[in-house]
Amino acid sequence: MRKAKKKKRVVVFDFDGTLTHKPPKGKSLFVAIDEGVLSPEGQAAQQKLFNHYIAKAQTGTMTAGEDEAWLLQSIENYILYGVTPEKARAALAAVVLRPGVIECLEMLRQEQIPVAIVSYGIAPLIELVLERHNIAVPGLIHKVYAARLTAHPERGYTGYDRSTVVLQSTKGDWSRHFADLHDVPHADILAVGDTGGDRRLGHLKKNRLAIAGDAAHAKEISPFMGRVIVTDDFHPVTAWLRSKIGLI
């Protein structure tokens, strides 16, 4: 009997807190830059933004416009206060991948499944973290969807391309764009995130997995996810993906 042909799939991952450890084992990308690169004045500017937006972010009442404003104002602060690729590279050593992430990416490459990062973040900074862990783009990761910055060899980051900005509200759009590049039906996108900000990552709820730090966190994000796993490492994520793509 001929073996049934497996479905074509793509996998999309959030970055901060999903592929990376959360505090205290590792810092978020933004915290690593704020604390490791910015001057006291720059840190104060970032803290002001945090204080202004965090309550709405935590209660889920932030509008798409506010979501965009917070990210773009953070990028503008990084430009204003002199973040450079070299300074960023040193600071981002504090961003730590979860155990098992590389093994998961290698499994997906072996199965010829395209992988993207879809992040409410900054692409060149994400890529510096991946570079530090010898994760090539393209390679183990096919594409990084996040805000693209322009850089000057001496002055550092000087601007950004607004058309590349990923918002929490547009993560699904970017996920579907990636699926379209690989002729994969939207219903066959597999997505992995870690917060309510990933409620639109991927396409179908049943194909959306979240990593939670504890039972309370799991309960909070479960309405948006097909499944929630309380875990510190990535091995249960790999098992879920293997199940979804028909390996177990």
Q: What is the pLDDT of residue 1?
A: 42
Q: What is the pLDDT of residue 248?
A: 64
- pLDDT at 206 (0 to 100): 96
Distance separating alpha carbons of residues 201 and 178, to the nearest angstrom: 12
In a domain, 80, yes or no: no
Q: Six-digit token pair at 19?
A: 């592929």
Measured CA to CA, the distance from residue 107 to residue 246 in angstroms comes to 13
Q: Is residue 71 part of a domain?
A: no
> What is the pLDDT at residue 2?
45
Q: How many of the other CB atoms lie within 10 Å of CB of 202?
A: 31
Q: Is residue 165 part of a domain?
A: yes
**In a domain? residue 132:** yes
The whole-angstrom separation of Cα 216 and Cα 242 is 27
CB 139 within 8 A of CB 157: no
Write down the pLDDT at residue 196. 87
The predicted pLDDT at position 25 comes to 87
Tokens at 122, concatenated? 């900054």
Predicted local distance difference test score (pLDDT) of residue 185: 97
Q: Tokens 């530090």 correspond to what residue? A: 132
Mean pLDDT in consecutive groups of 10 residues from the start of the chain, 248 residues: 68 96 89 95 95 80 89 95 93 94 96 96 96 91 96 86 94 98 97 92 96 92 94 96 87
Residue 238 lies in a domain: yes
Amino acid at 96: V
- Report if residue 14 sits inside a domain: yes
ω before 24 within 30° of 0 (cis)? Answer: yes
Q: What is the pLDDT of residue 156?
A: 84
Q: CA–CA distance from 142 to each of 68, 69, 105 (Å)? A: 25, 28, 11
The two structure tokens encoding residue 72: 């773009």
pLDDT at 247: 74
Cβ burial 132-154 (10 Å sphere, 16+ → b, else e): eeebebeebbbbbbbbbbebeee
Residue 76 lies in a domain: no
Say if 231 falls within a structural domain: yes
CA–CA separation, 222 and 11 (whole Å)? 20
pLDDT of 66: 92
The CATH number of residue 207's host domain is: 3.40.50.1000
Host domain of residue 145: 10-23+96-244
